[in-house]
Structure 1
Amino acid sequence: MMLNFKPLKPAALLAATMLMCVAGPSAQAQERHGGHGGYVGPQRGGGSHASPHWQLDRRYQHNHYYPSRGYVSIGLPPGAISIGHGRGSYFFHSGVWFSPVGSRYRVVAPPFGIVVPVLPPAYTPLWIDSTRYYYANGSYYTAATDGGYTVVPPPPGAEQARPLPPLPEAKPAPDPIIYPRSGQNAQQTESDRQECNRWATTQPAAQVDASVFQRAVAACMDGRGYTVR
């Protein structure tokens, strides 16, 4: 699935919009310099490979590219999670947050207080005033009381913080295999998976326990005629 990120204005920049190639998400969070979450962006280091539609996040040596906030996608990445907050809903994928704009999705900053079941695949751990924070794409996360991770405002002293040494990387859990028992095509399979992702977030503890979320998605897909292993 190819996503065209483009600004709402001006029209002259539309032809230069970067394409994003998105792969399935991994529930296994990694320390800094981990995977890029499936996005294919400019090469690291900037220069002639950089694009105004992508931004290199250098803070805390994070060194990852993300689509610029304010750009609009014609669709969501496969596996994006729908998360309700306040009177609206947001979509989360690999550290990038989306907000619906008509039939499209704008890249936005997440609201403070929203909770996700897992961290982005790539993040930078920080230790600020005796509290462990996780940084990715301009946002700070802390462990939520009941599980999961909460988006919080930049803490005092964040500008002077230094990244923690990386922990030994655990072997990522393999992505589940989804088999369409009823012969569903790829487009229908992806549509069903996104709907199951949205339904899974409504289940008790799903937004604060990744295993609950994953089991809910598997149960939903099974009910729609898929085998998940």
Structure 2
Amino acid sequence: MVLWDFDGPICRLFARHKAERVAAELVEWLELQGLHGLLSDAERDTLDPQVVLRAVDRRHPGSDLVAELEERLTQEELRAASSALPTAYADPLIRTWAAVGARLAITTNNSPRVVRAYLDGRGLTGCFAPHIYGRTADLHLLKPDPHCLNRALNGMGTAPSAALMIGDSPSDLAAADHAGVPFLGYARTDPKRKLLHESGAAHVVTSLEPLLTTLRH
């Protein structure tokens, strides 16, 4: 069983619809609601929309404000999905793994609606469905919490030791460690590779091509 993170190993979600702009627009919307002082300076200046969402959830968990902000982020992610760039070799690797009988799941902090929209567009939904485990209303359970990985393991009746997590961030690694799932890091850039190694990842690849080549042979 292979658990895939979505944004990174499968595609670059915000390759064209920039995450920095999405984060800035979420901050701007909060300020228009009269909530200028809600975020710290670091949170206000973040380049990551997930940071904004989680910061607001920590201060107003379960509120209508958080629900509205999450829906706004989901809509931006959906726009991004239409112009996302596939990660090199991801599509054929997914198809080949599915063809040889491996069971695949998505475990992501992005909205599952966004994942399905992207997979539909690539003709890949059948390789994963129904095992797409993404962001829920319980934002405190996002990775590095292992919640989505545990949902996938339980949903597919798989022991943690019989699975593999492919992720590109320290939060993916932490979630895999907490769930007891072996981890393979994917790093498109040297800084990401260094960060994963420094976070404790024992195995990191800079391309999915070696996995595809090994699988085909």
Relative to the length of structure 1, the TM-score reads 0.29
More strand per residue: 1 or 2? 1
The structure, 1 or 2, with the larger RCO (C-alpha pairs under 8 Å, 6+ apart) is 2
More helix per residue: 1 or 2? 2
Relative to the length of structure 2, the TM-score reads 0.30
